[in-house]
């Protein structure tokens, strides 16, 4: 597995742990109601699970497993992929912080979402030429 | 394909069907005059889909395909893999039954089902992370 894939997949595992913990906390409170405001955590939970865990895991495995180039650089424009990874995670963290501090519709949360879109576009541009038959070019 | 992977994938396919049935029932509730409790199934629907289907499919395929931990222990801990499988599914099934019941009858003393479900699913998440982390490595 190339280094960047290790970073992306391990980061997604961290989000999986955080997201399951928040989910378990909310579910526990749905049963016991120690914290009647448990629903305040839903936005963070959704972001951790859908973007931090699932989307990121898929990107990481795609980066690892899709066909490489026969000539160096085997992974193509790797700086672009690193950029997508860093911007994606900045986006997740800004979205979570913005949603928590100022609400899901706040400009901070929207900036986080915009970063996620930029990251998705960067990754799409990066991976595009690697979507092809194995051992070509 | 290891036995545990087959269990994960087949279970995940069953959750996909179950999720689509629940989602369909939610949509059809008003037009078909289905009982009101069907309207409470939204969180169950999401989690059947996201935990039962997608996450469980990922768990099973990663257990099978990720780089080997060592030559002698390629999938790290097989028992921990099974613990992950059983806690995830027991936890999710408890939730599927318990969540609508607790919402319908908050005073019926069934909250323990959700507490147990939360603990079981959390153990599954941690179990998967522990078993997988060291297999995510450079060659
Ligand atoms: C990949 C995994 C998961 C995804 C994608 C996910 C996604 C979501 C989403 C989208 C919601 C919002 C639903 C709504 O607005 O009604 C939600 C709510 C919730 N989730 Fe998860 N979730 C995941 C795993 C979990 C786990 C493992 C637990 C518990 C151990 C959990 C517990 C909850 C609870 C308690 C709520 C609030 C339900 C309510 O009262 O409305 N989630 N989740």
Q: For B12-41, what is each residue's pLDDT tens digit?
A: 999 999 999 999 999 999 999 999 999 999
Structure tokens at B118: 């939360």
Q: What is the pLDDT of residue A134?
A: 76
Is A32 in Cβ contact with B111 (below 8 Å)? yes
Q: State the complex-level ipTM.
A: 0.96
Question: Closest Cα to residue A14, out of A99, A93, A116, A109?
Answer: A93
For residue A136, pLDDT over 80 is answered with no
Q: What is the pLDDT of residue B22?
A: 97
Is A17 in Cβ contact with B50 (below 8 Å)? no
**A123–chain B nearest CA distance, Å:** 21
Residues lining ligand 1, Cβ inside 6 A: A 20, 23-24, 26-27, 30, 42, 45-46, 49-50, 53-54; B 42-43, 46-47, 50-51, 55, 118, 121-122
Q: How many CA atoms lie within 13 A of B100 on its CB side?
A: 14
Q: Alpha carbon A58 to chain centroid distance?
A: 9
Q: Rounded distance, CA B123 to CA B27, Å?
A: 33
Q: How far is CA A88 from CA A43, A130, A133, B117, in A?
A: 17, 20, 28, 31
- Ligand 1: distance of its center to the CA of B72 in Å? 38
- Of ligand 1's atoms, which has the minimum distance to the CA of residue B121? 30
B32: number of Cβ within 10 Å: 9
Average per-residue pLDDT in chain A?
Answer: 96
Q: How far is CA B41 from CA A47, A94, B93, B124, in A?
A: 21, 31, 13, 23
Note the maximum CA span of chain B: 58
* Residue of chain B nearest A29, judged by CA positions: B115
pTM for this model (two decimals): 0.96
The dihedral built from the CA positions of residue B36, B42, B43 and B44, taken in this order, carries a sign that is positive
**Chain B residues in contact with A6 (beta carbon < 8 A):** 136-138
Contacts of B70 (CB under 8 A, 6+ apart): none
Question: Closest Cα to residue A32, out of B1, B87, B72, B114?
Answer: B114
The answer, for A23 touching chain B at a CB cutoff of 8 Å, is yes
**Mind listing the pLDDT tens digit for each residue in A59-84?**
999 999 999 998 899 999 999 999 99
Tell which one of A46, A51, A53, A58 to mutate to probe ligand 1, the residue whose CB is within 8 A of the most ligand atoms: A46
For residue A14, pLDDT over 90 is answered with yes
The answer, for B75 touching chain A at a CB cutoff of 8 Å, is no
Domain boundaries, given as residue ranges, for chain A: 3-14+52-130
Residue nearest to atom 32 of ligand 1 (CA): A23
For residue A137, pLDDT over 70 is answered with no
């Amino acid at each position: 597995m190339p280094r960047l894939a290790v970073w992306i997949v391990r980061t997604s595992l961290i989000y999986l742990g955080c997201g399951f913990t928040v989910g378990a906390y909310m579910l526990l409170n749905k049963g016991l109601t120690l914290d009647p405001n448990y629903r305040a955590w839903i936005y963070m939970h959704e972001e951790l699970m859908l973007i931090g865990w699932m989307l990121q895991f898929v990107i990481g495995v795609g980066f690892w497993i899709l066909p490489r180039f026969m000539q160096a650089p085997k992974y193509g424009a790797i700086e672009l992929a690193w950029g997508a990874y860093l911007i994606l995670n900045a986006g997740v963290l800004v979205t979570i912080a913005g949603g928590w501090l100022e609400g899901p519709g706040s400009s901070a949360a929207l900036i986080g979402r915009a970063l996620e879109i930029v990251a998705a576009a960067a990754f799409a541009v990066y991976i595009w030429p690697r979507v092809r038959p194995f051992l070509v070019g | 394909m290891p036995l545990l992977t087959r269990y994960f994938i087949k279970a995940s396919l069953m959750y996909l069907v179950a999720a689509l049935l629940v989602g369909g029932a939610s949509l059809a509730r008003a037009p078909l005059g289905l009982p009101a409790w069907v309207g409470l199934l939204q969180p169950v629907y999401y989690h059947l889909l996201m935990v039962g289907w997608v996450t469980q499919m990922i768990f099973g395929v990663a257990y099978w395909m990720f780089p080997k931990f060592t030559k002698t222990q390629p999938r790290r801990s097989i028992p921990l893999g099974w613990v992950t499988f059983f806690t995830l599914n027991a936890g999710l099934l408890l939730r599927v039954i318990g969540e609508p019941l607790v919402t319908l009858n908050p005073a019926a003393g069934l909250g323990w089902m959700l507490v147990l479900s939360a603990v079981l699913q959390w153990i599954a998440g941690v179990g998967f992370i522990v078993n997988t982390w060291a297999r995510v490595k450079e060659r």
